[in-house]
Chain A
Amino acid sequence: MRFKTKRDKERAPTLNMASMIDATFLLLAYFIFTTGVTARESQLSPNITAEKTSAGARAGDFEPQVIEVLKRSDGPVYKLGERYFTSRPALTEALRSLEKSAGLFVRVSPGPTVGFATAAVQAGRDAGFDQVTYVPAK
């Protein structure tokens, strides 16, 4: 049996770490630059419910606060009760005066784009509604 002598210990192999550190930093830099390109995203969290049209009743009949997102000949509009809004701030301001506990329903017609539908949900949130429900119209 052979024991390690003091001289053996002194002969321990040594590695040049420079190339490994180079490669590690290169990888690190690569990932930092590539992951930084991804855009930050946020989210809106509406409930969803189907439009119920049974027994001659419309969804809006039982829902006290409904924004309808419609498309007219002059462009998309938001309809709240009998009033029509074309601007977001005016809609948000009108929503602020409503009772919050009942929640808000956003009924979106097939005509407008997703941008207008999302804006209505955001207006509800901005006005202070905790419960915003998206109703996809048929």
Chain B
Amino acid sequence: MKFGHAPRSRLMNLDMTPMIDIVFQLLIFFLTTAQMAQMSRADLDLPPERGEEERSKEQAGLVINVTADGEIIVGDQTVSLGELEAMAIKRASNPDNAASGTSSFRPLVRADLNAPAERLNGVLTALERAGVDAVRLATNPQNDSGSK
């Protein structure tokens, strides 16, 4: 006994355009962000401190890396203290930062645990001369040494 009509086509016709749009957007997003993260953050042994959890969601802005041998790296290039100061002045005078004063501009300093403090002092002095009044020091909360 036969009921109804014979099935015509069981394949669904899906509009693939939105899916392809999303896939490409995700791909571009991941490619660009992964590249940026790789460029701005050097592989460093950060100080093992808990830090301040409530302020850690802030945007990166200017990221300054200080390696164990005292090299200062911004982005993918090594810079001198003079060049760093010029960079900070330029960033601080950016309309986005200048609108609310330089106090809103807080560069992220990623200094290696074993780097000489003299080098970090040099970086912070250069930033202070550029009009920066606060910074963020990156730490590694996974190896918190609070009990030492």
A contacts, CB < 8 Å to B? 10, 12, 14-15, 17, 20, 24, 27, 31, 34-35, 38-50, 69, 87-89, 108-119, 121-122, 125-126, 134, 136-138
B132 located at the interface, meaning its Cβ lies under 8 Å from any Cβ of chain A in the complex: yes
Give 10 new A-B contacts, CB below 8 A, not counting A43-B139, A114-B47, A114-B117.
A10-B8, A43-B58, A44-B51, A47-B133, A48-B132, A49-B133, A108-B120, A116-B117, A121-B137, A134-B135
A27 in contact with B27 (CB, 8 Å): yes
B145 in complex: contacting residue of A48, A119, A138, CB < 8 Å: A119
B113 in contact with A136 (CB, 8 Å): no
B87 located at the interface, meaning its Cβ lies under 8 Å from any Cβ of chain A in the complex: no
Task: Tell me the smallest distance from the CB of A80 to a CB of chain B, in Å.
Answer: 17
B139 in contact with A44 (CB, 8 Å): yes
What are the residues of chain A within 8 A of B50 when measuring CB–CB? 42, 122, 126
What are the residues of chain B within 8 A of A50 when measuring CB–CB? 125, 128-129
B114 in contact with A114 (CB, 8 Å): yes
B118 in contact with A122 (CB, 8 Å): no
A108-B135 CB under 8 A given contacts A14-B13, A49-B128: no
Instruction: For the complex, give the distance between the alpha carbons of A47 and B128 in Å.
Output: 10
